[in-house]
Amino acid sequence: MRVLVVTAVRAEADSVIAGLSPGGPVTTHRVPGGDTLLRCAGAGAGTGAGTGTGRSAETGATVDVLAGGAGPAAAAAAAATVLTAAATGPGAPGYDLVVSAGIGGGFAGAAPLGSIVVADAIVAADLGAQTPDGHLTLEELGFGRSAHRPAALSKRIAESLDAVHAPVLTVSTVTGTAGRAAELTARHPRAAAEAMEGFGVAEAAVRHGVPVAEIRAVSNAVGPRDRASWRIGEALEALREAFRLLSPVLEEEAR
């Protein structure tokens, strides 16, 4: 099984790798456009990945981790570039799963600081049109889609991580006011988290026919911007632990 994990920044990518293969071998690979993939072969195999199975690296998944940049456009471009290279390169093995991962904001009452959210819907929350009567989605405008349903595996991932399984909103501008948080909650009452890359990664994955998932560790509350209350370090640690717990799932899927 080959998995592509796309984060926004290198700190998130490092947390993913640390969870998948603590102290294990990680190789770097250049891809078109100048980005670097961090490759963890055999994720989920052996005691190094925390499974205790003693399996060889060949039995685990191969996971490539890419820090593709912040925002849906950068994430979509980076993911699409890697997916295309994988599908057209030597042997053209392609990927079996794409995961958008990183830290994000949690909605009050749904996802507290340090919690993990696995998307059951990946929603472009600010894509559409603003009208006197409120927001219109792309579907309502007849221009396309503003939401993706993740892979069926996402439910199992959520259970394995003891995570909240709910919609994750993709925004181009991080919420910084109570009014904006209330507006998003009114339009998406089940939403548990917001981030900036999920929908872009999903667009790239779906166009390549590859299942997609999104995993977010909550670093701050969605609402008034208060950097002093953010817990980025704790969220990165929660992300690392989430991918440690994900390793056995990937191993089973790789069999």
Number of C-beta neighbours around residue 183 at 10 A: 16
Judge residue 175's burial from the number of C-beta atoms within 10 Å of its C-beta, 0-12 exposed, 13-18 middle, 19 or more buried.
Answer: buried
- Expressed in angstroms, the distance from the first to the final Cα of the chain is 8
Contacts of 188 (CB under 8 A, 6+ apart): 123, 125, 167, 169
Q: Tell me: the pLDDT tens digits for 183-226?
A: 999 999 999 999 999 999 999 999 999 999 999 999 999 999 99
Q: Tell me: the pLDDT tens digits for 55-102?
A: 334 547 899 999 999 999 999 999 999 999 998 877 667 899 999 999
Whether pTM exceeds 0.85: yes
How far apart (Å, rounded) are the C-alpha atoms in residues 50 and 209?
Answer: 31
Q: Which residue has the tokens 């899927």?
A: 253
Longest CA span, the chain: 61
The count of structural domains within the chain is 1
**Which CATH number covers residue 192?**
3.40.50.1580
Check: CB of residue 71 under 8 Å from CB of residue 47: no
pLDDT of residue 197: 98
Q: Tell me: the pLDDT tens digits for 166-186?
A: 999 999 999 999 999 999 999
List the domain range (segments joined by +) for residue 34: 2-254
CB-facing half-sphere around the CA of 21: CA atoms within 13 A:
24
